[in-house]
Structure 1
Amino acid sequence: MARWLYCLLLYLFSPLVLLRLWQRGRRAPAYRRRWRERFGWVTPVPEGVRFWVHSVSVGETIAAVPLVEALLARHPGERVLVTTMTPTGSDQVRKSFGDRVLHVYAPYDLPDAVARFLRRVRPAELIVMETELWPNLIHACSKRGIPVVLANARLSERSARGYGRVAWLSRPMLQRLDWIAAQADADAERFLALGAHPDHVSVCGSIKFDFSLSDNLREAARQLRSQLGGSRPVWIAASTHEGEDEILLDAHRRLLKSYPDAALILVPRHPERFNDVARLVELSGFTLSRRSQGAPAAGCQVLLGDTMGELRMMYGAADVAFVGGSLIESGGHNPLEPAAWGLPTLMGPHVFNFADICQRLVEVKGMCFAGSAEVLAQRLTNFFDDPEHRRAIGQQALDFVASNRGALQRLLEGVESRHSG
């Protein structure tokens, strides 16, 4: 009965969802394309797919790369489908895998859209990245005997409270999951408290530790750093949200008083904000270069990272990193990528999306917090004043990443055991 009420509400609000899709298309036209896929009208795959991996957008898709690559290597000849919900996620799938995987948008959680999608794709197993949970999708897979694995699963206290408020819907959904591969003990405990079956929950760690920095990536980072100026101080503010850029530019202005030749690589989280942030930089009086326009101008004060899929490389061109989504109540983004480059990492106070990882990074002195422009500028100044200390902090972060690898192998073993193929 509860799920039918949920379905009724979905159908009632679906016109508003379409309107929202159309409105987003005004700034990002790709949202208006391929909309039929969102209702399950995808090209049929008569032979079906062995693994369906679902990620939401760019971050989850990047996190899924090691998993998908391992599945492709271990199951040659088997079809792998990767779905996303956003155009930027779609672009990332194509950039990461080319035509080695099938790719479409995932269906909205409408019963008929989900049924149509499953009939056409015929997956043998669904692997959902992190916490993208949809009741009708999980119910439909369960009815068809399709195992559903929640991989690299994380659940913040805030999200757990949200699920708890709709326990009539979330509890039966969680109980239908075949396996929850939680990132940390706290995540596992929250899933169990919400009603997940104890035998179906394991702590595997985060596969975000299990990525590697290729030689090509390192060379691209060296080239960018050389273009910026190899000897000048460079810091990066990555995955920034609206409301953060002003604070970060204020911190950069303060830093310039001590280091007039310092450069900031500013990378907004969402591409539809690139032009707005560029205008903000110019109105703030900084000299601006845009990554999309080629090599940065000599001595530019701010390089805007307005390309997709290059953030990991851009970290390698910096001396210190700030990870965004943390100065506002968005929960923060992944601090492991700068840590893997051996960079001291700074974040704002709002890190509930990565609370466990951030806490552990702080404990090993690989990162610290800065909640204002003044504090951020002071911490940056301290790092640039003392290069040995900066490198020592970065090494702590790098060692932390290296010591926590192995989640990918545990996840692979669990995924493959769910379906005998």
Structure 2
Amino acid sequence: MIQPQHEDATTAQKPPLRVGMIGYAFMGAAHTQGWLTAGRVFDLPRRPVLAALCGRDEATVRTVADRHGWATTETDWRVLVARDDIDIVDICTPGDSHAEIALAALAAGKHVLCEKPLANTVAEAEAMAEAAEAAHERGRLAMVGFNYRRVPALALARRMIAEGRLGTLRHVRLTYLQDWLVDPAFPLTWRLRKERAGSGALGDLGAHIVDLGQYLAGELLVGVSGLTRTFVTERPLPSDEPEAVDGRLGMVTVDDTALFTARFASGAVASFEASRFATGRKNSLRVELNGERGSLAFDLERLNELAYHDHTEPATHAGFRRILVTEPDHPYLDAWWPPGHGLGYEHTFVHQARDLVHAIADGRNPEPSFADGLQIQRVLAAVEESAEKDSAYTPID
């Protein structure tokens, strides 16, 4: 259980950053962990304070707030956004509400952290990016929550690529595989409805690997060719819906898997695969980048490790070698444990909070910004458009 924060005298003297969070389930708990822990581990210029937690069910949100140490609760996000004692609004809701909440929060003079993907449509993302740009001129910042950028091994990979350790990139491969939808009896939750989620595996998992591919390569995608499929087209309605009687089924309106190839501006090629039907894969995110001078590979199930091949070494002893990413000069790790003591998934949200607090204190746009989130939304839309044309394959006679 996450315990309420206890502050030392030095921390208590720092100006507070009063957080109002909307949504308290899986992502809300992860973000809470980040806000609670960042100031304990890192020397931050401002002190995160859990000011208010918002959810629709009053009893449940109060229980969660008490467990995690939130000071107050709200059941209407509009009330939270309007409060004078909130500095930043953290949006952990389904995608259909991201745009409305973020636009209102920025208009109210708040900083904003919004979970990925930024929106459900390109039009929504464009409005959010435009509002964020205008808010920046007034000293208010907005960031998208792509937490995997904050895995120390992946941040190290980005540093090594930027230093030229791989030379010119040739290939980038990313897969993100889960299996929680394999059972056709799994209910028709909001993540399986386009009007709520925007898309399926493409937006849920594909957004992460699009962001990672561009972040690691240091350049943007300029073209895609995509294929999507929905394997189970009808599912039981959730038990809490009035229509859920006599085993009634509802239509799945999002993709179960998405595969696409892509081109970077430099000419490097990439492949992406996102699936929630990869039997036996719980949260398998894998990355490999091949360049003229070497290669890097990463597996989230071994997130404290990075595999590196230096192609400039003699072939007699060259090959992939394991880098244990726990040294104090590795990204984020100067504030954590002695070398060899690994971190986990939850630490990515601590690092996310750390980076955002520093950006707010410095008055600079955080990364990834809403403009970055818009560009990723355009990639996802292009994949959907390509898949709808069904032009991914040339028929074989």
Greater per-residue helix proportion: 1
- TM-score by structure 2 length? 0.37
- TM-score by structure 1 length? 0.35
Q: Which has the higher contact order (CA 8 A, sep 6+)?
A: 2
Greater per-residue strand proportion: 2
